[in-house]
Amino acid sequence: MGEWGFLSSLLDKVQSHFTVIGKVWMTVLLIFRIMVLGAGAEKVWGDEQSNMICNTKQPGCKNVCYDHAFPISHIRFWVLQIIFVSTPTLVYLGHVMHVIHKENKLRQWLSQAGNEMGKIPKYSDEKGHVKIKGELLASYTVNIFFRILLEIAFIVGQYYLYGFILEPKIECSRAPCPFTVECFMSRPTEKTIFIIFMLVVACVSLLLNVVEILYLICSKCGSESMTLKLFSPKIMQCLNNIVRLGLVWFNTMQ
């Protein structure tokens, strides 16, 4: 399980670059998406075409019916979803690394030349921890907006491609099938449960992104009373505990 140890260390390193809600989103992404997909999806979906039974032996008919029912397999669709939803965050992290690199060079220059101009790094400290403000806040907000749009696009796309319930019987009349063929999927109930689980995780991820946008808007507008009402210290502590539990769980998988 060394790959999960790598993911755990990656999560540890980027913790300071996110808000508390962003840390929870990262935990949901890594545990309930990447890990569940990697550990369970192959066992559930590995037989989707080979174990599909059709009431004809016409060569090529089974493949055509499968392609008609599933233009892209669920596993590949979810992998693409994870990649696309994670991409804005990776771009933001690239921006953070660029800012940290520039400010580290500024620190080196100040230590050698003396701080005669009164300049100080405003986004990061010596340990590489960053403050989400200014251009980093703008970059972080854009990252969340794109995550929201992509989550919605993939949820809607999944609905139009497959729906949210896997029917046990598929009817197909495409060539080279000699007539309207009936094909039957293996373990449709188990696969439907998996589809609903991944849908729920996507909706939770979408909700976290919306809540984080509200948190950033309240913080930016300086409405401390509204921020405290929506995000009390107890709620933030609870979210921090969720992140810690996620890290502990990751470490146990190494």
Residue-wise pLDDT for 197-221, tens only, equals 889 999 999 998 998 888 887 776 6
The per-residue pLDDT for 154 is 95
Q: Return the top range by mean pLDDT from 30-44, 103-117, 196-210, 227-241.
A: 196-210
241 vs 202, higher pLDDT: 202
Least confident of 21-35, 172-186, 222-236: 222-236
What is residue 50's DSSP assignment? Answer: T
Judged by average pLDDT, the poorest of 19-28, 43-52, 140-149 is: 43-52
Q: Which residue has the tokens 């090529």?
A: 60
φ/ψ bin of 18: left (φ > 0), alpha (ψ from -120 to 50), beta (otherwise): beta
Region for 170 from its dihedrals, namely left if φ exceeds 0, alpha if ψ lies in -120 to 50, beta otherwise: beta
DSSP state of 124: B
Catalogue the E-assigned strands of 130-207. Answer: 169-172, 181-184
pLDDT at 222: 58
Domain-wise residue ranges, the chain: 3-48+72-167+188-219+234-249
Q: What is the mean pLDDT of the chain?
A: 76
**Tally of residues, the chain:** 254
Instruction: State pTM to two decimals.
Output: 0.77
Omega before 59 within 30 of 0, i.e. cis: no
pLDDT tens by residue, 146-194: 999 999 999 999 999 888 888 888 888 888 888 888 888 888 888 888 8
User: Which of 24-38, 75-89, 105-119, 231-245 is predicted with the least confidence, judged by mean pLDDT?
Assistant: 231-245
The hierarchical CATH code for the domain 3-48+72-167+188-219+234-249 is: 1.20.1440.80
What tokens does 149 get? Answer: 């749009």
Looking at 27-41, 51-65, 238-252, which range is the least confident one? 238-252
Look at residue 90 and tell me whether its pLDDT is greater than 90: no
Contacts of 62-69 with C-beta under 8 Å, sequence gap 24+, read 62/183, 64/172, 64/174, 64/175, 64/176, 64/177, 65/170, 65/172, 65/174, 65/177, 65/181, 65/183, 66/183, 68/170, 68/172, 68/174, 69/170, 69/172, 69/183
- pLDDT score for 34: 79
Q: How far apart are CA 222 and CA 217, in angstroms?
A: 9
Question: What is the rounded distance in angstroms from the CA atom of residue 77 to the CA atom of residue 225?
Answer: 42
Tell me how far CA of residue 99 lies from CA of 31, 79, 93, 188, 227, in angstroms.
29, 30, 10, 49, 28
Between residues 20 and 169, the one the model is more confident about: 169
- Give the strand order in the sheet containing 53-54: 53-54, 181-184, 169-172
pLDDT confidence of residue 83: 87
